[in-house]
Chain A
Amino acid sequence: MSDDAVSPEEVRHVAELARVDLADDEVDQFARQFADILDYFETLDEVPEVDREADLANVMRPDEVRDTLEREEALQNATKTEDGYFKGPNVS
């Protein structure tokens, strides 16, 4: 697959969806990397298509309350917290 398979606009769009800021040189770098990744996926096209064969079905649990985490445990990996909440930057 040629290098122009992924445009800088597409990279910027994907970055925007992931809420990631990219500098211009990073955009070029990711455009190349995206193209490589797409190449790898092309290889997968050679794998014959098969139907899903799920060994399992209907794996469920009864509607019964189980132990939860203590709040301190739940929050302990967060870089910022406030009054029991996770705290993050403004998002729109």
Chain B
Amino acid sequence: MAPHESSFVTDIEPATEHVAGVGIDGLAPYRRVVTFYPHQPESRVMTAQTVQQGDLVTVIGLEVHVQLETDTKIFCGCSTEQTDEPNEHVCPVCLGLPGALPVLNEGAVEAAVKIGKAIDAEIPEETRFHRKNYYYPDLPKNFQITQYDEPICADGELEVAVEGTRRTITIERAHLEEDPGSLQHVGGGIDTADYTLVNYNRAGTPLMEIVTAPDFRSPSEVRAFLAELEEVLEYLGVFDAERDGSLRIDANLSIIPEDEIESGDIDDIGSSALETANRTEVKNISSHKGAQKALAYEETRQKNAIERGRAVEQETRHWDESRGITVSMRSKEEEKDYRYFEEADLPPLRVADWKDEISIPELPSARRERFQAEYGLDEESASKLTSTKQVADFYETVAAEFDPDLAATWVADNLLGELNYRDMEITDLEGRLNEVTRLVELVATDEITAKNARETVLRSMLDDERTPEEIVDAEGLGKTGEDEVQQAVVEAIDENPDAVSDYESGDDGAINFLVGQVMQKTGGSADPGDVNQLLRAELEA
């Protein structure tokens, strides 16, 4: 618990502006390198005239920060476990005390290589770390150890399905870095706070920053990508989506008039059109839904401005989740101000061969395709069943024992449906999944009806944490014996001569009435299909 009710936690980093420029001569020993989206340093006003000539195309690129699931921090042996106690997991390295030296966590590098494999990226022969200098109390060293011109992963891609079509998003790079600490601005907002409280538990948590090409054309594509990315990371076992603050997103958005796209294809926008467009960077996004909302807001804001003939400022904006708007942020640093230079305390990394040594599990997209081919599932079921590794693993367990269609209905529709309704995840059933398998078995072997299994047993299993057998016994749901059903069939026919004569004169609806009578007599535990057959057999006899 935060000790001050009026305080709030912020994760805002000083704004980055990738404006090409030269440092003070001689004071800049770094190489002038990566400008992710090169553009002109001066604002350019889009005139109303250019707009009238055609439609506007939205172009979005992402920088996604994900916390890697390791036991310890990236450069020291402090635990990454979350705790409410401030400054509990700290040591001289992550506090930036003089003389302390970083030592790289092998686990973080393994996780990065796994991500590289999953996004089909190149792991260069040699990669290294840089210092990114900025003065803010969330960084006790006054620099962040990150990667600059030699990231551990380069030139990857991820395929996503958006509204039925497949799109390949280029991932330009993914690099390792350390998370800063967290600040609480006490007694007001960032600008008006009385003072600041600093907690370095998070400082040094391994982060992977994943940078995409400006390949997105709508906020919904961004959301689909983030969902897919998160799925992949969870499959790899390197990421915990449940962890607070484990996913943070910065997005670049610009609006380009369609007639400036030389190729005429909005998926192939030339670099000159991208360069001349004014781009805003939206920071402080922390979820898929937040990304879609923030970017939809920003898209509308920019389009409105252009349609009214106003200029779109090249600036950094802050997504205010509670108000649902983006607000302009003063940007202090430009890229050159970070004075990137090589981290001499960390020797270079040569891990290209780890790509062959480290194996990764089958990824969601491959598994989706296999589920369709191997179990004859439709795309929607296959997609639901691969939504998390746990769901997919469980489906395969059930499908190995029972009919794959029955397994799909039970896992994808019944189980996930009821879990979703209760805001639960399959992981909440850890240790009880064999009970669900047992329930499917009860249905598969006709011991209880599918309806009772679904509506009574499964729900009670989730709500009351009882086993299927307990519920079946307590509720008397065991399927009625065949003799009993047969007896009820005979009774129903004897008691309803009118319906029988209607049936005999060709009124097919009469059989349904008789089925209803039998179901009533057996307390709903008979199988309606069986009853129908038994009735017809008896009536035709």
B109/A89 in contact, CB under 8 A:
no
CB distance from A12 to the nearest CB of B (A): 12
**Pair A58/B196 contact, Cβ less than 8 Å:** no
Residues of B within 8 A of A89 (CB): 195-196
Q: Does B136 contact A (CB under 8 A)?
A: yes
Q: Determine the interface band of chain B, counting residues with CB < 8 A from chain A.
A: 35 or more
- Contact A61/B137 with A5-B25, A66-B77, A69-B91 known, Cβ cut-off 8 Å: no
With contacts A65-B79, A68-B78 known, is A41 near B27, CB below 8 A? yes
- A4 within 8 Å of B by Cβ? no
Tell me the bound Cα distance from A60 to B176 in angstroms.
14
> Do residues A68 and B79 form an inter-chain contact, with CB atoms below 8 A?
yes
Q: Encode B88-109 as 1/0 by CB contact (under 8 A) with A.
A: 1111100100000001111111
A48 is an interface residue with CB less than 8 A from chain B: no
State whether A60 touches B105 (Cβ < 8 A). Answer: yes
Given known A-B contacts A63-B107, A64-B71, A85-B184, A58 and B350 have beta carbons under 8 A apart: yes
* Residues of B with C-beta under 8 A to A84: 85-88
Bound-state CA distance A62–B104 (Å) is 9
| Docked complex Cα distance between A64 and B347 (Å) | 20
Interface of B is mostly: loop
- Bitwise, A25-47 to B at CB < 8 A (1) or not (0) is 00000000010011001100000
Cβ–Cβ contact A91 & B136, under 8 A = yes
B24 touches A38 (CB 8 A): yes
Q: Which residues of B contact A23 (CB under 8 A)?
A: none
Instruction: With both chains docked as a complex, state the minimum distance between the C-beta of B537 and any C-beta of chain A, in angstroms.
Output: 68
CB-CB under 8 A for A65 and B349, given A42-B26, A60-B104, A84-B85: no
Give the residues in chain B near A75, CB-CB below 8 Å. Answer: 87
B309 to chain A, nearest CB (A): 33
A3 within 8 A of B: no
- Partner of B193 from A34, A52, A90 at Cβ < 8 Å: A90
23 intermolecular pairs with C-beta atoms under 8 Å apart: A14-B24, A37-B27, A41-B26, A41-B27, A52-B348, A55-B347, A58-B351, A59-B346, A61-B105, A61-B106, A63-B71, A63-B72, A63-B108, A66-B77, A68-B77, A69-B90, A71-B86, A71-B87, A74-B90, A83-B86, A90-B185, A90-B191, A91-B185
A55-B347, A71-B86, A83-B86 are known contacts; what are 18 more A-B pairs with Cβ within 8 Å?
Answer: A6-B24, A18-B135, A38-B24, A54-B347, A57-B347, A59-B346, A60-B106, A61-B77, A63-B71, A68-B78, A68-B90, A69-B91, A69-B92, A71-B85, A74-B90, A84-B88, A92-B190, A92-B191
CB-based closest 9 A-B pairs: A66-B77, A63-B107, A85-B197, A56-B347, A86-B198, A41-B26, A60-B106, A84-B86, A38-B26
Interface residues of A (CB under 8 A from B): 5-6, 10, 13-14, 16-19, 34, 37-38, 41-42, 52, 54-69, 71, 74-75, 82-92
